């Protein structure tokens, strides 16, 4: 029997719980149904959003891919943000089905489960490649029951301690390589198909591989969750607070030698900084944490501010739209989610007339708004996909909190449930407003290899990508003749580029096809043909002429590709290039990345061509400093002697030149640990000190 005291205690407990609930409700909003959440979306004029899938058919979606038969597969990551013991993850891949054809998923089948921290997937040879740190896996259904019954580790050794910075964002490039973001994390990666090989150290890089040739290597970038490529193979990726970066020079060029003066070969390309227009207030924990941090910055007299809102801080899932269901002006636009700001941002990519770096601009209609924003703080647009129907699909992770707990003070996370929403998830279809959904039926697997060639001309890039992949997988050389004929007659440069790499993937590329590619009317085809031309020394004269191409990207690639050769003609060509177009830092870096372009012979050619006289511009002094750095860091005796002798010439006696050169020499010798003592003798102040330093260097290297 309940006593009055017991009743009183129960009432107090109920009151306490109600008070706690009310307090939490004031801090953090409660979830909404898919229909209610959709009403909170603000969508750009002319577009609408409709529900494609939601719980119970999908939970915690992080990737959506449509296979060659148009089937939708979704990868789920329910364990975030907590680490899970390897092999005991709760991740799944589901096959989503629309049984009644109304455009909405009403059935799902689990294709694979118990995946630990799966973040992205890609179809390959009837199976699925999955990034699941520390592995890249290959899952396949071999008996036709709709469920994976084999699981193979392809690569192992990737960083796995933070799910926000793991191997992710698989993409098949037009060049037949599969690319993945690694965020520059530590890792010693092994490929199970090549036993006995030493592991690859992936620190500081992203990653790429080819399963058709069993090769893998490092790639430029520090991408997090979000990687995309345009029709021409240019890579773009996101980091938390940098929503769009472009990889400018691939790793294979920047690491031909280890002595370049810089180590970052990608750059932000936005022209509107990292501002956003979010409709939600920052969550309590973020506002409080930022206030505390800003207070500490001020107390420490640091010129630094942390923004709690209206800045990218959770940018993710960048995807280039290459479908055909949206208006044509949206083709090639990049869509990026910001899960912290509950919004989707759109960038229009524009080539520069003077630089190989593209520019990302806001649309005129979105100068003060975002393409999609929400007042529902649980809305977490994590990534996107384009289907065979040409529509843009948006994945909503739908969580109350989207942050790793390790970055939040203990007192703030005490009342935060980081798993709230792990039983939810939504996928939306973005389409032109006031239009009915149009479904498509497709089965590229059933098409002959010859028929697949015709899909390389489809406007919707989904067809081109899958047809290209299937041709690469099949290795059916019966299509070679027809592929070459189509390459010669196609009016679409995208088709011609696909055919170049299809022929390359079939080991059927010849010098005649590449030469025609070098003369293509499209600069993007010419750029790619240059990469393929690196295997033919007979094409060197043509490649040299392309240093004068009208396209900045072609000029850059010509410079990089020529650096693969050893011809002395290249030195004179590089000298003229620096003299006429060296204002561009990327061209200068491309020259320095090669052995010939970072040698005393180049400096001698520049002296003979009077590049530095009279009164050299600032950028020329910078190039001289960087060249000096590279030569000094290499610390080859014969090169150093040749280089130092050039500064005894009257044409190199200008104090500005000598100071720039000596600064580079000192930095380079310091970089080379064995030469720090020599660098300590050098002074870059007064002209007399500079002259004395050069004399000291000549004496040291003459005596070696």
In sequence order, the 6+-apart residues with CB closer than 8 A to the CB of 150 are 127, 138, 139, 140, 142
Strand partners, 181: 168
Tens-digit pLDDT profile for residues 43-66: 999 999 999 999 999 999 999 999
Q: What is d(CA 326, CA 595) in angstroms, rounded to the nearest whole number?
A: 47
Q: What is d(CA 393, CA 326) in angstroms, rounded to the nearest whole number?
A: 12
Tens-digit pLDDT profile for residues 316-327: 999 999 999 999
* Cβ 387 vs Cβ 394: under 8 Å: no
Three-class SS of residue 257? coil
Cα separations in angstroms, 200 against 252, 265, 392 = 14, 20, 36
Three-class SS of residue 337? strand
Rg, Å, the chain Cα set = 29
* Cβ 582 vs Cβ 588: under 8 Å: yes
- For the segment 246-265, the average pLDDT, to the nearest whole number, is 96
Tens-digit pLDDT profile for residues 352-366: 989 999 999 999 999
- For the segment 407-418, the average pLDDT, to the nearest whole number, is 94
**Among 26, 160, 21, CA closest to 87:** 160
Would the pLDDT of 136 be above 90? yes
- For the segment 425-436, the average pLDDT, to the nearest whole number, is 96
Would the pLDDT of 508 be above 60? yes
CATH numbers and ranges of domains, the chain = 44-432 (2.120.10.30), 599-704 (no CATH)
- For the segment 133-160, the average pLDDT, to the nearest whole number, is 96
Would the pLDDT of 691 be above 90? no
Q: What pLDDT sits at residue 1?
A: 46
Q: Residue 534 has which token pair?
A: 């690196």
Would the pLDDT of 16 be above 60? no
Maximum distance among all alpha carbons in the chain? Answer: 109
- For the segment 27-55, the average pLDDT, to the nearest whole number, is 97
Phi-psi region of 640 (alpha: psi -120 to 50; beta: other; left: phi over 0): alpha
Q: Residue 502: what are its φ and ψ, rounded to 5°?
A: -65, -45
Instruction: Give the DSSP H/E element, type plus range, for residue 408.
Output: none
């Amino acid at each position: 029997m309940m006593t009055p005291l017991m009743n009183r205690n129960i009432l107090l407990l109920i009151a306490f719980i109600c008070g706690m609930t009310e307090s939490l409700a004031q801090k953090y909003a409660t979830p909404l149904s898919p229909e209610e959440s959709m009403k909170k979306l603000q969508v750009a004029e002319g577009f609408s959003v409709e529900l494609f899938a939601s719980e119970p058919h999908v939970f915690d979606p992080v990737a959506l891919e449509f296979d060659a038969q148009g089937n939708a597969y979704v990868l789920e990551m329910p364990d975030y943000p907590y680490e899970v013991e390897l092999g005991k993850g709760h991740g799944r891949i589901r096959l989503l089905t629309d049984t009644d054809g109304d455009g909405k998923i009403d059935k799902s089948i689990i294709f694979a489960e118990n995946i630990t921290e799966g973040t992205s997937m890609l179809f390959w040879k009837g199976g699925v490649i999955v990034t699941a740190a520390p592995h890249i896996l290959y899952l396949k259904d071999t008996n036709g029951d709709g469920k994976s019954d084999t699981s193979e580790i392809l690569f192992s050794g990737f960083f796995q301690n933070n799910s926000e910075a793991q191997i992710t964002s698989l993409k098949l490039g037009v060049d037949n390589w599969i690319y993945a973001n690694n965020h520059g994390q530590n890792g010693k990666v092994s490929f199970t198909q090549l036993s006995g090989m030493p592991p690859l150290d992936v620190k500081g890089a992203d990653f790429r591989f080819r399963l058709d040739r069993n090769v893998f290597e490092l790639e430029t970038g520090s991408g997090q969750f979000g990687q995309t490529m345009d029709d021409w193979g240019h890579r773009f990726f996101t980091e938390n607070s940098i929503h769009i970066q472009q990889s400018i020079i691939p790793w294979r060029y920047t690491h031909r030698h280890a002595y370049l003066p810089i180590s970052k070969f990608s750059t932000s390309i936005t022209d509107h900084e990292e501002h956003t227009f979010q409709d939600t207030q920052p969550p309590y924990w973020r506002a409080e944490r930022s206030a505390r941090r800003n207070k500490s910055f001020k107390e420490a007299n640091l010129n630094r501010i942390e923004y709690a809102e209206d800045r990218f801080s959770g940018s993710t899932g960048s995807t280039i739209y290459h479908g055909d269901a949206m208006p044509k002006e949206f083709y090639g636009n990049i869509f990026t989610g910001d899960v912290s700001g509950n919004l989707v941002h759109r960038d229009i990519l524009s080539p520069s007339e003077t630089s190989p770096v593209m520019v990302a601009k806001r649309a005129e209609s979105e100068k003060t708004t975002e393409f999609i924003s929400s007042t529902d703080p649980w809305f977490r647009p994590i990534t996107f996909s384009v289907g065979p129907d040409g529509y843009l699909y948006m994945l909503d992770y739908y969580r109350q909190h989207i942050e790793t707990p390790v970055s939040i003070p203990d007192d703030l996370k005490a009342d935060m449930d980081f798993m709230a929403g792990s039983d939810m998830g939504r996928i939306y279809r973005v389409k032109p407003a006031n239009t009915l959904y149009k479904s498509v039926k497709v089965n590229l697997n059933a098409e002959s290899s010859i028929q697949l060639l015709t899909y390389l001309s489809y406007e919707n890039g989904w067809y081109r990508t899958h047809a290209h992949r299937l041709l690469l997988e099949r290795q059916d050389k019966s299509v070679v003749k027809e592929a070459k004929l189509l390459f010669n007659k196609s009016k679409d440069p995208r088709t011609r580029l696909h055919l170049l790499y299809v022929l390359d993937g079939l080991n059927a590329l010849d010098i005649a096809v590449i030469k025609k590619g070098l003369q293509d009317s499209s600069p993007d085809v010419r750029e790619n043909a240059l990469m393929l031309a690196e295997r033919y020394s007979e094409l060197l004269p043509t490649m040299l002429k392309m240093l004068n191409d009208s396209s900045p990207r072609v000029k850059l690639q010509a410079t990089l590709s020529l650096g693969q050769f050893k011809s002395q003609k290249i030195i004179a060509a590089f000298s003229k290039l620096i003299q006429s177009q060296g204002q561009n830092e990327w061209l200068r870096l491309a020259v320095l990345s090669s052995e010939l372009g970072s040698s005393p012979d180049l400096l001698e050619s520049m002296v003979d061509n009077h590049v530095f006289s009279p009164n050299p511009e600032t950028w020329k002094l910078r190039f001289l400093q960087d060249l000096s750095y590279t030569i000094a860091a290499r610390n080859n005796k014969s090169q150093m002697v040749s280089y130092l002798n050039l500064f005894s010439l009257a044409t190199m006696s200008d104090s500005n030149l000598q100071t720039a050169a000596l600064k580079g020499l000192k930095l380079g010798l310091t970089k080379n640990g064995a030469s720090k003592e020599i660098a300590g003798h050098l002074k870059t102040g007064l002209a007399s000190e500079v002259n004395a330093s050069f004399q000291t260097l000549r004496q040291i290297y003459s005596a070696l």
